[in-house]
Amino acid sequence: MVRKETHTIKHLIQLQDLIVARAQQQASMPKARLEQLDKSISTLAGELPVELKSHFNRLLQKSIEAIVPITGDNCSGCGYALTKTMVNSIHGGDELNRCPNCTRILYSPDVPLTRNSPRRRWGDPVKRGIERFSAPELMVVSLKGTTREDVLLEMCNNLREQGYIESCDDLHDAALRREAIVSTAVEHGIAFPHVRGVEGGGLTLTLGISKKGVDFGGTTKTKIFFYMVIPTAASAFYLKLLSGLTQSFAKKEARDALLAAKTQEELWKILVKATKKHII
């Protein structure tokens, strides 16, 4: 039998996923029609007990992540070290637990999403702009996939091959679940597939180009894919990055430059140059 609090946790996660999806739609498509998402959010929120709904809304005013998974013995939202007693209670799912530091609601993920954290070596230059989140080896000049699933797996495998993650199995499933909420495809043949709650490193972006385009849920075929893995603590900043990328490639000539790149190095230089103004 499913415990009542376990059911509540799943309800809150589903509600938060919709709220985050709405914020992402706004960041990437300022004029997007959001009626269906608003209706779903209102329905789920209306099913919560009044006191819990009020606390959840107060948390959302501080951060877009009101309910977060634990990572080991820590709150993934603020990094606070939890007591063994609280960790055991969270794993047991018998009651709702809140972080003593940030007051976010905590839960134990069914499948923890983790990644490798490339270490910065002494003497490495300080990175700025898009260079903080990506690298030349994460550029994919010519995606071979012809379906949404193929493209997502191909880009995930690029992260794995470059040593940023160990396995694609759980990450790929999570990316597909995110697309099932509402497509991350936006105008001008761009998409922003991503996975939130990937702990163990910073926000990481891999850019892929499909010359022919792929049906990705948008009004036109998608050719430019910004695939990101996002730790919980960077979820709010991700929206700023998303907005910056949208502004950087709002003009056709900027998008055409990406599509015309013939090498990994060329694609990287175009990305860095195009985002210099909007991603600091």
**Backbone phi, then psi, for 81, in 5-degree steps?**
-80, 125
Look at residue 112 and tell me if it is in a domain. no
Tell me, yes or no, whether 167 and 73 share the same domain: no
The contacts found for 121-130 with CB under 8 angstroms, 24 or more apart, are 128/280, 129/272, 129/275, 129/276, 129/279, 129/280, 130/205, 130/271, 130/272, 130/275, 130/279
Look at residue 280 and tell me if it is in a domain. no
Look at residue 234 and tell me if it is in a domain. yes
Last residue in a domain, options 45, 74, 107: 107
List the CATH number of the domain containing 237. Answer: 3.40.930.10
- Domains identified in the chain, total number: 2
Q: Among residues 204, 192, 196, 241, which one has the least CA distance to residue 77? A: 196
Tell me, yes or no, whether 246 and 157 share the same domain: yes
Tell me, yes or no, whether 134 and 269 share the same domain: yes
Tell me, yes or no, whether 134 and 263 share the same domain: yes
Tell me, yes or no, whether 137 and 218 share the same domain: yes
Tell me, yes or no, whether 140 and 250 share the same domain: yes
Tell me, yes or no, whether 95 and 154 share the same domain: no
- Return per-residue pLDDT of the chain as tens, 280 residues: 345 577 899 999 999 999 999 999 999 987 777 898 999 999 999 999 999 999 999 999 999 999 999 999 999 999 999 999 999 999 988 789 999 999 999 999 887 777 765 554 555 666 789 999 999 999 999 999 999 999 999 999 999 999 998 889 999 999 999 999 999 999 999 999 999 999 888 899 999 999 999 999 988 999 999 999 999 989 888 999 999 999 999 999 999 999 999 999 999 999 999 999 999 8
* One-letter identity of residue 181: I
Tell me, yes or no, whether 151 and 226 share the same domain: yes
Tell me, yes or no, whether 55 and 138 share the same domain: no
Tell me, yes or no, whether 59 and 165 share the same domain: no
Instruction: Provide the domain limits for residue 202.
Output: 129-275
Tell me, yes or no, whether 187 and 82 share the same domain: no
Look at residue 72 and tell me if it is in a domain. yes
Tell me, yes or no, whether 144 and 249 share the same domain: yes
- Distance between first and last Cα of the chain: 50
**Backbone phi, then psi, for 189, in 5-degree steps?**
70, 30
